[in-house]
Structure 1
């Protein structure tokens, strides 16, 4: 596919719930079109194809990658398949947007990244929280210098049970990589993006609040130290009650100011020597903005505009390392240096 192509044919691999969000985003951008579905379940693939205008479907990725008009893929499959499928997509010469994490191990993430490097193909990883209003607002305020240098970031994302039942693959650490890598990686990636410094270590604690029989921790506390001297404190829950509860809290303490962003809908507040003032959180739908960034990279001529859009391989590899370090920290009961896992 030429990078300046107007319409990018996108094959969606995996027809589960997260795929619906990506497909909805595809429908909003005229630069892309849904080229079909692949799923290990023929019934699931066929149903997804029928819901979306009768596009082609298959249970064979190799076959689908050979269809005319397939320029790129979005992978929405379980975490333990990402490395293998990413390499297959790269070998077929297609661009890729893959659900986070890039892989469940650092060597696996590196292998997937290397499959795309230097061959004119674009790899992006769906760290979708970067594309939501609150995350962009915090990033922009830090980059503007209004807060000075960040010294402490606290991010809490709290919610109730989201998985369909106890057989869900995300509850199997061999498939998901553990909760720190599957869901906690959202926070680890986001605070690192905000702070803009190299992470040095992760100290994590996990709890099984829903039931002791869980194979993953459904509540996480993670502390990350950075080269700049900053510290990030992350709290992630899929165990809060009552059912349907959802909460978020952001605090960024800088050398020149304090930013707070509560969940209550009033928007972020910036406090400095001039007093406290509200900020405009902006308006964006995260999955659509994420898709737009990926398409920017596919359709722009080679150069900064093509390389800066989206979450690329290097940042995605670092996110995997942070998630792996958090899981290792919980197992060992001590902080884990990033160099131990990289």
Structure 2
């Protein structure tokens, strides 16, 4: 079901943080008729001015409170460094506005739980931008599992391997305090996705990290994360930003179920499905993941459908990322329940 934009005023949106990822959200926003950009916010006035000019001369400010008070603002998209997400989210909730926040929802389980409670009290929409759920491959694997193509998933292997993307050593992504570490910054995409595919409660995370690019890194730019689920289903995730050549971009998916096996190659437009009938394939439909994600959020804001990645799922992804970071540090599996307990859940 999609929203009918003919009889309802477009949703007024402010974008908070005007870095690289904000451009993706802005492009998705500009492609819609049921939402419009009211203005942008950035702590750096120069960036804010540039973003405002580049998006049709909309309003700009360095102050979040000012932006939330602008006439016609219904919702906010937050694209700031990870450690700021929880504080900003709480301010948006207090203002009675809806929120689409970049992953992760927060950098601690307690922060994430606090944000979820705030939106439940406010009665406004909270959605977390776990964009891989909206990418072609993510949706396709989920649809195949839901259709029973492989039976009950027992093993999922997901590798997302890439070269260095951050501009220099000053990037906030490389600061574990501001990013939460690589498991929360990039690894959380994989942790959320495999949990969505498997559809059962995660029990523990066992992770290993390496500093592939430089021993001086404060984060691990290469991660191996093993997630165990309630009925002994297993997910093996490999996340890298330390591969060479720098331009490398590679993904590999394997789902082993009780009745079949599904693989999705990075460079192909079809999967390979092997079941009792033998090998076969099916085309993967194309589409824009950011546009799909933004549309789902707007539909949620307008009451058409619930948010596909709500607060509870965002908070669980944070707990998985925290567990992975702790496991790397300790060399031992970390129980997800122990992380969630710290948040009072």
Q: TM-score, normalised by structure 1?
A: 0.96
Cα separation, 1, equivalents of 2:244 and 2:110: 37
Structure 2 gaps, min length 5:
341-345
Q: CA deviation at 1:209?
A: 0.4
- Residue by residue, what CA displacement relative to the aligned partner does 1:292-329 show, whole Å, maximum 9, x if unpaired? 110111113xxxx532x321000000000000000000
- Residue 93 of structure 1 corresponds to 96
Among 135, 138, 146, the residue aligned to 1:135: 138
Following superposition, the deviation at residue 140 of structure 1 comes to 0.4
Q: Which residue of 1 aligns with 2:151?
A: 148
Q: Does 1:157 align with 2:193?
A: no
What's the counterpart of residue 322 of structure 2? 324
CA distance in 2, matches of 1:143, 1:285: 22
Report Cα offsets for 1:36-92 as digits up to 9, x if no partner. Answer: 000000000000000011000000110111000111000000000000000000001
- Secondary structure at the aligned position of 1:340 is classed as helix
Residue 54 of structure 2: aligned partner? 51
SS of 1:90's equivalent in the other structure is helix
Q: Secondary structure at the match of 1:114?
A: helix
Give deviations 1:79-138, integer Å, cap 9, x for gaps. Answer: 000000000000011000000000000000111111110432000000000000000000
Which position in structure 2 is the counterpart of 1:189?
192
Residue 177 (1) aligns with residue 180 (2): yes
> How far, CA to CA, are the matches of 1:79 and 1:327 in structure 2?
15
From 77, 90, 97, the equivalent of 2:80 is: 77
- Show CA shifts across 1:233-277 (max 9, x none): 000000110121000000000001000001122421111111111
Shift of 1:199: 0.1
Per-residue CA deviation, residues 131-164 of structure 1 (Å, 9 max, x unaligned), is: 0000000000101111100000000000000111
Shift of 1:224: 0.3
- Please, what TM-score do these two structures have when normalized by structure 2? 0.95
Say whether the 8 Å CA contact 2:269–2:284 is kept in structure 1. Answer: no
Instruction: Show structure 1 runs of 5+ residues with no match.
Output: none
Partner of 1:237: 240
TM superposition outliers: structure 1 runs of 4+ over 3 Å: 3-6
C-alpha distance in structure 2 between counterparts of 1:316 and 1:231, whole Å: 20
Measured in 2, the distance between the counterparts of 1:97 and 1:5 equals 20
For 1:314, which of 312, 315, 327 is the aligned residue? 312
Q: What is the deviation of 1:211?
A: 0.3
Separation (CA, whole Å) in 1 of partners of 2:308 and 2:11? 16
Q: Distance in 2 between matches of 1:92 and 1:118?
A: 12
Equivalent of 1:7, from 10, 16, 19?
Answer: 10
Distance 1:297 1:266 in 2: 30
Task: Judge conservation of contact 1:6–1:299 (CA < 8 Å) in 2.
Answer: no
**Which deviates further from its counterpart, 275-284 or 332-341?**
275-284
8 Å contact from structure 1 (residues 80, 104) kept in 2: yes
Cα distance in 1, alignment partners of residues 206 and 30 from structure 2: 41
Report the RMSD for the aligned CA atoms in angstroms.
Answer: 1.1
Within-5 A mapping of 1:97-136: 97-136=100-139
CA distance in 2, matches of 1:85, 1:186: 21
The more displaced of 140-149 and 272-281 is 272-281
State the aligned residue count: 335
- Given that 2:94 and 2:122 are in contact with CA atoms closer than 8 Å, whether structure 1 keeps it comes out as no
